[in-house]
Chain A
Amino acid sequence: MTTASLDYAPPKSGGIASWIFTTDHKRVGILYLIGSVAAFVVAGLMAIGIRIEQFNPGESGLMQYFVGDFGKSMTTPDAYNTALYFHGAAMILGFLIPGLTGFAANYLVPTMIGAKDVAFPRINALSVWLFWAGIILALLTFVIPDKPDIMWTGYAPYSVLSPGNTAFYVFTVHLIGFSSILGAVNFITTIVYMRAPGMGWNQLNMFVWSVLTGLTIQLIFVPVLAAAVTLLLLDKYAGTGFFDVSRGGDPMLYENLFWFYSHPAVYVIFLPAMGLIYDIVATQAKKAIFNYKAAVYGGMCGLVVISGEVWIHHLYVAGMPNWLRIGMTLTTLLISIPVGLMVLSLWGTLYKGAITFNVSMMYAALCLILVLLGGLTGIPLAIASITVHLARTSWVHAHFHFIMGLFATYAVFASVYHWFPAMTGRSADNGIAKLGFWLNLIGSQVTFWPLFLIGVEGMPRRYWDYSEMGDHVAYFTQMHHIATLGAAITAGGILLMIVSWVYAAIAGRKVERNPWGSKSLEWTHASYPIGAGNFPEPVTVTADWTPYNYAK
C-alpha cells in the first residue's frame, strides 16, 4: 500500500496541467484551499448582501445585484432567498468541510504521521476534481434564470414545489458528497496503515485524531444526506411522492433524514477545527496536551458516539412526538460531557505554558472565546421547551455562526498562518495580517451579539424584511444597523487577511526551518518547505516520542 505514493510522484512543478493532474496530497490540499476560499469569498459577498438588505425594514433595492440579476427581473425576496441559499450551502459544503477535511487534512495528515502521501493518491485527485465540479455547479446559480431558493436545508415540500432549480442543489450535494466519501475512505486508511513505524495511537497529533473521528462521522452519515436529496430529485423531476402527503408520503421524512446527517456534519466541522486549535496552542505554548487520552477517547470518540442520537433538536417545533423531543433534550444536553472534556484539555494545555503570540496564536486565542460562546449559547437550544421560542430566531443564527462561522472559520485561518512557512518557506505574519486579525475580532463580535439580543425578542431567521414584526421593528432595526456595521468591519478584515497571504506567498519574509520550534514531524523531519515525497529519509519514531514533548 505504501508503495503507491511513489508510483504517482508529483509531476514537475509549473504548468497548469501539473496542478490539475496532480496526485500529490500537498497540491491537492492547495487546490482544496483555493476552491474553498473562492466559495468563502462568494458566500461572504452574499452575507454582505443579506446584511445590507436587513439594515432597514423594507427593500434596499440592491439585493438583485448580489445574485447576478442586473436586469432586476427577480423580486427582492426571491433574490434574498437565493443569496441566503447560496450563503448557507457554500459556506458549509463548499468552504468549511472542504477547508478542514480537504485542505487541512490533505496538507497535514500525511506530513504529521510521517507518510509520503495518502493511501490512494489517484482517488485523492478524483476527490478534488469532484469538489471543484461541485463548486462550479454551485456557482452556476448566478447564471441560470431559475435560481435555487430553497435554503441549504432544502426542506420538502417547498423544495419540490419551488420554481427554483432544485436539481442544482441536489447535484452539488451529490458531487461534494462523493468527494467527501472518497476523502474519508482515503484518510481513514492512511491514518490506520501509513503511520511511521513505531507511531502508536497515543502519539498522534490531535489534528490527526480529529480527522480520523470527524471523517468516521462523515463516512457513516453522508450516504443518508445523499439519499435524502436523491428522493427530493425523484419527487421533483420523476413524479414520485416520497414527501407528498396526498400520495402517502411524508415531508417529515426529509427533515429527519436531512438532520440525521447534518447534525453530525457539525462535528465533521467542529472536530478538525478543534484539532487545529489544539496543535497550534500546544506548539505556541510549548506544552504537551493536557489529559490527552481523556480528550481523544472521551472527547473526540465520545462525540462520534453521541453525534447520531441528537438530531431531533433541529425538529423541536416540527410536530415530532412529545416524548421524542424531551428524550433528545437529554441526549443533546449530554454533548456537554465530551465537549467539556475537550475544552478542559485545551485550557489545561495553556496552563504553565510559554505562549508566543504570532498571528496563528492570536486567532487560536480568539477561538477559545468563540468556542466558549458558541457552546454556551447552544445550551438553551438543547432544551426543547426553551427552543420552542428560540427556534428559527436569530438566536439560532448567531449561535451556529459562533461555532461554525467564527470558531471553525477562524481555525482554518489560524492554520493557514501557522503552516504557511511549511508550505512556502515564508512567513505570513506581517502587519497586514495583524490588522486583519483585529478587524476580524471586532467585526465578528459587533455582527453577532446584536443577533442574540433580537433573537430572544423573536427576530425570525430568513426574513428579508421584518416590518411585520409589530412593536419590535424599532429595536430590531437598531440592532440590524449594528450587525451590518460589524459585517462591514469583518469584510475589511477578511480582505486584509487574503492580501496578507497573497503578499506573503510572493514576497513574504523568508524564515528558517521550523520557525515556531515545533516537535511535530511536519516541521522536524519533513523537507523545508515540504517538497516531493515529504521526507528526505524514511521516518521512524521511538516509544517516548510525541509531537508535544517540549519538556523532554
Chain B
Amino acid sequence: MHKWPKRLLLGSTALLSASLPAMAGEPVSPTKLWNEIWQDVLYDMLFIGLPFALAAIYFLIRYRAKHPGQVGEPVRMNAAATWGWIIIPCALFLADDLLLFGKGWTLWNVQRVVPANALEIKVNAVRWSFQFDYGNGVTDSELVVPVGQPIVLRMTAKEDPSGDVIHSFGLVDFRLKEDLIPGRVTYLWFIADKPQETRVNCMEFCGTGHGQMSTPVRAVSKEEYQQWLAKHKSASAGTVQVASASLGGTASK
C-alpha cells in the first residue's frame, strides 16, 4: 500500500513537523528523502493533471458543433456561483500549494542542516576540474568518502589560471547539487549508505570543457578510507593548497 493518501490527510501537519527530522538522532539521508518526496510530487502532478486532461479531451469531443451556425449554450451564473468558481478552486490550489510547501520544507531542512558529526572536505573548482582538500595536507582530484559518514563539502571557485567562473557540483546519483561561486563558500552535505562508485559533473555552464568536467566519487568502507587517506597523506605532503573556507584569498587576477 502506498503511503501517499495518508500523507495527503496529514498534509496540514507537515508544516508543523518540518523541523523534526533534523533534531532526530540518526541523520536522515537527503538522497533517500528526495526520492520519497519526489514520488509524492509525481502523484500530486497526476492528481491535478489527470482531471484537467480528461475534462479537456471530453469537452473537445463531446461539444463538437453538430451543424454549421450552431452556437454554444450560454452558461449563466449568479453571483454565488461566480464567486464559488473563484473561491473554491483558489482554496484547493492553495491547500495543494501548502501541502507541497510543507513537504518541500521538510526535505529542505534535511538538505540544509548539516549533521554535527559531518566530515568536512573542501572543494575548489577551476576550468575544468574539481580539487578536493581533505585536510592535513591531503588533496586529490577524486572524491573518496567513508560509507555511513555524513560528508559536508565547503565549496568555492578560485585560483583558476584563466579566471574564476561559476561551476556547479552535480551529484546526480545523490540527488544533490550546489554551485561553486567565486567569492563565496557554499555547502552541501550527503551520506553514502553503501559502497558505490559514481561521478560528480559540472552543472553550470563554464565554457569549452563544461561537458567533460567530471570526476569519480567513491564511497568505501571506513577502513579503506583510512588506508586511502594515510597513503595520500604521505604522497601529497606539502603540495598545492586548494580550496580554503576564507573569503580573503579569492583574488584571481
**Contact between chains at B179 and A369 (CB < 8 Å):** no
Count, chain A residues at interface, CB 8 A: 89
**Contact between chains at A286 and B65 (CB < 8 Å):** yes
**Chain A CB within 8 A of B195 CB:** no
**Contact between chains at B104 and A385 (CB < 8 Å):** yes
The residue that A379 contacts in the complex, of B41, B56, B250, with Cβ under 8 A, is B41
Interface hit among A166-174, A245-253, A405-413, A417-425:
A245-253
**Given A286-B65, A333-B97, A355-B65: A377 in contact with B166 (beta carbons within 8 A):** no
Instruction: Give the CA-CA distance A343 to B59 in the complex, in Å.
Output: 14
**Chain B CB within 8 A of A389 CB:** yes
Most buried by A among B93, B112, B205: B205
When distances are taken between beta carbons in the complex, the residues of chain B under 8 Å from A158 are: 165-166, 205-207
**Contact between chains at A322 and B112 (CB < 8 Å):** yes
Task: Give residues 65-100 of B contacting A (CB, 8 Å).
Answer: 65-66, 68-75, 77, 82, 85-86, 89-90, 93-94, 96-97, 100
The residue that A463 contacts in the complex, of B69, B173, B211, with Cβ under 8 A, is B211
Q: Which residue of B lies closest to A74 (CB)?
A: B208
**Chain A CB within 8 A of B105 CB:** yes
**Contact between chains at B107 and A386 (CB < 8 Å):** yes
**Contact between chains at B108 and A252 (CB < 8 Å):** no
When distances are taken between beta carbons in the complex, the residues of chain B under 8 Å from A162 are: 207
When distances are taken between beta carbons in the complex, the residues of chain A under 8 Å from B170 are: 392, 458, 460
Task: Give residues 164-186 of B contacting A (CB, 8 Å).
Answer: 164-166, 168, 170, 172-173, 175-179, 181-184, 186
Instruction: Give the CA-CA distance A151 to B166 in the complex, in Å.
Output: 14
The residue that B177 contacts in the complex, of A343, A382, A391, A470, with Cβ under 8 A, is A391
**Contact between chains at B101 and A368 (CB < 8 Å):** no
Binding site for A on B (CB under 8 A): 34, 37-38, 41, 44-45, 48-49, 52-53, 55-56, 59-60, 63-66, 68-75, 77, 82, 85-86, 89-90, 93-94, 96-97, 100-101, 103-105, 107-108, 110-112, 162-166, 168, 170, 172-173, 175-179, 181-184, 186, 197-199, 201-214, 250-253
**Contact between chains at B72 and A157 (CB < 8 Å):** no
Instruction: Give the CA-CA distance A150 to B71 in the complex, in Å.
Output: 52
When distances are taken between beta carbons in the complex, the residues of chain B under 8 Å from A463 are: 210-211
Q: Which residue of B lies closest to A291 (CB)?
A: B85
Nearest chain A CB to B12 CB, angstrom units: 15
The residue that B71 contacts in the complex, of A291, A456, A551, with Cβ under 8 A, is A551
Please give 17 more A-B residue pairs, beta carbons under 8 A apart, in addition to A319-B184, A385-B104: A161-B162, A251-B166, A251-B182, A285-B63, A322-B108, A337-B93, A341-B89, A347-B55, A350-B59, A350-B60, A351-B75, A355-B65, A356-B64, A372-B49, A377-B45, A461-B203, A463-B211
Q: Which residue of A lies closest to B67 (CB)?
A: A354
Instruction: Give the CA-CA distance A465 to B97 in the complex, in Å.
Output: 37
**Given A291-B82, A352-B63, A458-B173: A157 in contact with B208 (beta carbons within 8 A):** no
**Contact between chains at A350 and B104 (CB < 8 Å):** no
Q: Which residue of A lies closest to B91 (CB)?
A: A337
Q: Which residue of A lies closest to B181 (CB)?
A: A319
When distances are taken between beta carbons in the complex, the residues of chain A under 8 Å from B96 are: 336
Nearest chain A CB to B37 CB, angstrom units: 7
Instruction: Give the CA-CA distance A336 to B100 in the complex, in Å.
Output: 12
**Contact between chains at A326 and B100 (CB < 8 Å):** no
Interface 0/1 of A329-356, CB less than 8 Å to B: 1100110110011011001101111111
The residue that A389 contacts in the complex, of B34, B66, B77, B103, with Cβ under 8 A, is B34
When distances are taken between beta carbons in the complex, the residues of chain A under 8 Å from B77 are: 291
Interface hit among A29-37, A41-49, A75-83, A482-490:
A75-83
Nearest chain A CB to B25 CB, angstrom units: 22
Binding site for B on A (CB under 8 A): 75, 77-78, 81, 149, 151, 155, 157-158, 161-162, 244-246, 250-252, 285-288, 290-291, 293-294, 298, 317-319, 322, 325-326, 329-330, 333-334, 336-337, 340-341, 343-344, 347-348, 350-357, 365, 368-369, 372-373, 376-377, 379-380, 382-386, 388-389, 391-393, 456-458, 460-466, 468-472, 517, 550-551
The residue that A386 contacts in the complex, of B37, B49, B205, B251, with Cβ under 8 A, is B37
**Contact between chains at A384 and B104 (CB < 8 Å):** yes
When distances are taken between beta carbons in the complex, the residues of chain A under 8 Å from B52 are: 343, 347, 372
Nearest chain A CB to B128 CB, angstrom units: 10
**Contact between chains at B181 and A251 (CB < 8 Å):** yes
**Contact between chains at A333 and B100 (CB < 8 Å):** yes
Instruction: Give the CA-CA distance A157 to B178 in the complex, in Å.
Output: 17
**Contact between chains at A78 and B208 (CB < 8 Å):** yes
The residue that A460 contacts in the complex, of B60, B82, B203, with Cβ under 8 A, is B203
Q: Which residue of A lies closest to B110 (CB)?
A: A385
The residue that B85 contacts in the complex, of A246, A294, A388, with Cβ under 8 A, is A294
**Given A333-B97, A369-B56: A352 in contact with B184 (beta carbons within 8 A):** no
**Contact between chains at A294 and B82 (CB < 8 Å):** yes
When distances are taken between beta carbons in the complex, the residues of chain A under 8 Å from B165 are: 157-158, 161
Instruction: Give the CA-CA distance A72 to B163 in the complex, in Å.
Output: 27
**Given A326-B108, A354-B70: A385 in contact with B56 (beta carbons within 8 A):** no
**Contact between chains at B82 and A286 (CB < 8 Å):** no
Instruction: Give the CA-CA distance A386 to B186 in the complex, in Å.
Output: 18
The residue that A392 contacts in the complex, of B163, B177, B253, with Cβ under 8 A, is B177
Nearest chain B CB to A221 CB, angstrom units: 23
When distances are taken between beta carbons in the complex, the residues of chain A under 8 Å from B212 are: 465, 468
The residue that B250 contacts in the complex, of A245, A290, A322, with Cβ under 8 A, is A245
When distances are taken between beta carbons in the complex, the residues of chain B under 8 Å from A457 are: 172
Instruction: Give the CA-CA distance A290 to B75 in the complex, in Å.
Output: 8
Most buried by B among A162, A329, A385, A470: A385
Q: Which residue of B lies closest to A249 (CB)?
A: B183
**Given A77-B210, A246-B253, A376-B48: A317 in contact with B63 (beta carbons within 8 A):** no
**Contact between chains at A340 and B89 (CB < 8 Å):** yes
**Contact between chains at B74 and A317 (CB < 8 Å):** no
Instruction: Give the CA-CA distance A388 to B165 in the complex, in Å.
Output: 20
When distances are taken between beta carbons in the complex, the residues of chain B under 8 Å from A298 are: 86, 90
Nearest chain A CB to B41 CB, angstrom units: 5
Nearest chain B CB to A104 CB, angstrom units: 23
Nearest chain B CB to A463 CB, angstrom units: 4
**Contact between chains at A517 and B210 (CB < 8 Å):** no
When distances are taken between beta carbons in the complex, the residues of chain A under 8 Å from B183 are: 245, 250-251
Most buried by A among B59, B85, B103, B170: B59
Most buried by B among A250, A354, A457: A354
When distances are taken between beta carbons in the complex, the residues of chain B under 8 Å from A244 are: 253
Instruction: Give the CA-CA distance A298 to B49 in the complex, in Å.
Output: 21
**Leading 9 A-B pairs by shortest Cβ distance:** A458-B172, A245-B183, A287-B72, A468-B214, A383-B104, A385-B107, A246-B251, A551-B74, A350-B59
Instruction: Give the CA-CA distance A386 to B202 in the complex, in Å.
Output: 19
